[in-house]
Amino acid sequence: MKPIYVDNNATTRVDEEVFAAMQPYFCEEYGNPSSMHSVGGRVGPKLKEARNQVANLIGARPDEIIFTSCGTESDNTAVHAALAADPGKRHIVTSRVEHPAIGSLVSSLSKQGYRISEIAVDGDGCLDMGSLEESLTPDTALVSIMWANNETGVIFPVEEIAQMCRQRGITFHTDAVQAVGKLPINLNDSAIDMLSLSGHKLHAPKGIGALYVRKGTKFSPFMIGGHQEKGRRAGTENVPGIIALGKACELAGKNMQEENTRVRDLRDRLETELIKRIPDAKINGTVKQRTPNTSNISFANIEGESILLMLNEFGICASSGSACTSGSLEPSHVMRAMGVPFTMAHGSIRFSLSIYNTLADIDEIIKQLPPIVERLRVLSPFS
Ligand code: PLP
């Protein structure tokens, strides 16, 4: 049975064209781009092409792209760079709903004496912009706010925040791991200083990411060693990964329209039908500002984990909360920050679609989920 995979915010399938583009760079063109000989020399132009492809997708200049190993490394690098650039400043502003790549990092920095302001969200998952503005002080070294939330898809007004930061001379970073490839991004025309992205969320393989650093932003490397990436990220380049990321970005640009029409329609159909058929079900996160592929729905009085296990028996792969938090019975930090009541937060399921999903996939979920919820509610101690 071919799975119905609706867990694309956790990771995506590698696109066949992406795989084909990277394949020669394992056994045939395996050179190190730093080598002087022809085997190494043939790789350099491909890296340049990939850098152009990534830059094109987000409206950046190629020399503003630094290849990293993943979204987490990009986030860590950005935070490190901003703090190192302004060592006298000891305050960081972020949100309560960041991915642990930022959330756990700032917790660890608080133990090193940094003061952290974690901006609250409301019941719809929207950021409290008033308290964000009030939190900015002359001691603020960095504001890091995600572009789109991985659990709910809620989009934050990052450009507005970037402008606020620019007016005050504060560095602004955004974790755009869940936004790149889904939403149009034009950094040439923006006040964002740094942006993280990750290959495996957009049909490239795991283990490759990138950090955009606006030209002129003070930067100090996180990985120290060789001169790769113009001294901004040491370590021999992941050549096949970089080529794959370039190709994936090119394809994401071409598929963006489909993502925002067909995929969005599939997501909306899934939600509308589930809400219609299942009593006491509620969408988490504002429907006004969301990535087109993501739906997070709470089903009252049952465990999300039980729903997932039963869906899995029908080959349907979704997630409860983020992949990192599922497995624990604690409601996710995002649901808690939104104030979702305990009985709803526990039964929250995230469906995250991609261009590979079909109408038949969605209709199968619509068919299978209502009886699953009904059965679990009969067994539930809460009902
Ligand atoms: N940021 C967000 C918003 C994410 O969703 C993820 C992964 O789920 C990451 C960062 C981490 O990316 P990576 O898995 O490439 O380290």
Report the pLDDT value the prediction gives residue 380, as an integer from 0 to 100. 77
- The reply to whether 324 belongs to the active site is yes
Between the CA of 279 and the centroid of ligand 1 the distance, in Å, is 33
Helical ranges in 193-346 per DSSP H: 239-258, 264-277, 304-313, 333-337, 342-345
Report the pLDDT value the prediction gives residue 325, as an integer from 0 to 100. 45
Catalytic residue among 126, 165, 317, 324: 324
Write the CATH number of the domain with boundaries 4-10+256-379.
3.90.1150.10
Enumerate the CATH 3.40.640.10 domain ranges in the chain, comma separated: 16-251
Query: CA-to-CA distance for 313 and 74, rounded, in angstroms?
Result: 36
Residue among 77, 150, 156, 222 to mutate when testing ligand 1 (max atoms within 8 A of CB): 150
Residue among 68, 76, 144, 201 to mutate when testing ligand 1 (max atoms within 8 A of CB): 201
Residue among 67, 72, 146 to mutate when testing ligand 1 (max atoms within 8 A of CB): 72
91-95, strands of its sheet edge to edge: 65-68, 209-213, 194-198, 171-175, 140-144, 91-95, 115-119
Report the pLDDT value the prediction gives residue 322, as an integer from 0 to 100. 41
Between the CA of 375 and the centroid of ligand 1 the distance, in Å, is 34
Report the pLDDT value the prediction gives residue 326, as an integer from 0 to 100. 47
Query: CA-to-CA distance for 137 and 135, rounded, in angstroms?
Result: 6
Report the pLDDT value the prediction gives residue 267, as an integer from 0 to 100. 98
Amino acid symbol at 135: S
Nearest-CA residue for atom 12 of ligand 1: 71
User: First CA to last CA across the chain, in angstroms?
Assistant: 34
Q: Ligand 1 site: residues with CB under 6 angstroms?
A: 70-72, 75, 99, 101, 146, 150, 175, 177-178, 198, 200, 209
Nearest-CA residue for atom 13 of ligand 1: 71
Between the CA of 199 and the centroid of ligand 1 the distance, in Å, is 10
Nearest-CA residue for atom 7 of ligand 1: 10
pLDDT tens digits along 82-133: 999 999 999 999 999 999 999 999 999 999 999 999 999 999 999 999 999 9
Report the pLDDT value the prediction gives residue 331, as an integer from 0 to 100. 87
Query: CA-to-CA distance for 285 and 154, rounded, in angstroms?
Result: 6
Between the CA of 177 and the centroid of ligand 1 the distance, in Å, is 6
Other C-beta atoms closer than 10 Å to the C-beta of 16 total 9
Nearest-CA residue for atom 14 of ligand 1: 71
Between the CA of 380 and the centroid of ligand 1 the distance, in Å, is 33
Between the CA of 325 and the centroid of ligand 1 the distance, in Å, is 13
| CA 206 to ligand 1: nearest atom | 15
List, for the chain, all residue ranges whose pLDDT scores fall below the cut of 50. Answer: 322-326
Comparing CA positions, the residue from 214, 215, 216, 234 lying closest to residue 224 is 234
| CA 323 to ligand 1: nearest atom | 8
Amino acid symbol at 204: A
Report the pLDDT value the prediction gives residue 262, as an integer from 0 to 100. 98
Enumerate the CATH 3.90.1150.10 domain ranges in the chain, comma separated: 4-10+256-379
| CA 11 to ligand 1: nearest atom | 8
Structural fold of domain 16-251? Aspartate Aminotransferase; domain 2 (3.40.640)
Residue among 8, 79, 94, 198 to mutate when testing ligand 1 (max atoms within 8 A of CB): 198
The residue whose two tokens read 């960095």 is 142
Between the CA of 158 and the centroid of ligand 1 the distance, in Å, is 17
